[in-house]
Amino acid sequence: MINNIFPKIHKEGHKFIAISVILSFVGLSFSKIIGLIFIILTIWIYYFFRDPDRVSINQDKFFVSPADGIVSSIMNVSGPKELGLEEKTFTRISIFMNVFNCHVNRTPVTGIIEEIFYKPGKFVNASLDKASEENERNFYKIKTKGREEQIIVVQIAGLIARRIVCEVQEKQEVGQGERIGMIRFGSRVDIYFNNRKTLVKKGQNVIAGESLIAED
């Protein structure tokens, strides 16, 4: 119950919360209104950087959502050229995270991180399709444990986002729903896969590590 009301905070949020608390005390020394504004900001920052535990289904036949948010698009596209997969066709599910969503990202399936590739870029609205080509991105190529297929998870920075955080390494084994990183302040996550049945629809809300988005 307590964890639901006061979830644990991702380490990326500690300094922001500390700064906001200090500003709240300083603001209160000048004006109750200014202090109240910073107190509300502190609460929002705490809420933004929440890192709640999630319970995954732990079945290789399913993929779980890599992010909290809304499914903004589902389409067949060429694979990321950054990983040399532009000649292959994938199903791509895009999940848009607004500033009120939990921004901790998770792996959709149990497997091994084969490759991580960071691509600097712009900071256009992450809900736009061109963000997949133009924005700052971080790519994860994951080989699944069961069928040894390759899936791609891409963190995409957004209009407000200015930092992509990666918390795993190449050749690292990861479990389904395990944390792989986060993106600060509004962004998007794409997942590319083949030969799976999609279980979500455009406009559907999903929860990282728990919502089923595809099955064998």
If we measure between CA atoms, which residue out of 112, 77, 68 comes closest to residue 194?
A: 77
| Torsion, Cα of 192, 10, 110, 77 (10° steps) | 0
Residue 187 is among the residues annotated as catalytic for this protein: yes
User: Residue 6, class by beta-carbon neighbours within 10 Å (0-12 exposed, 13-18 middle, 19+ buried)?
Assistant: exposed
User: Amino acid identity, residue 169?
Assistant: Q
Other Cβ atoms closer than 10 A to 32:
10
Q: Which helix (H) or strand (E) holds 192?
A: strand 187-193
Q: Which of 72, 94, 187, 211 is catalytic?
A: 187
Catalytic residues: 187
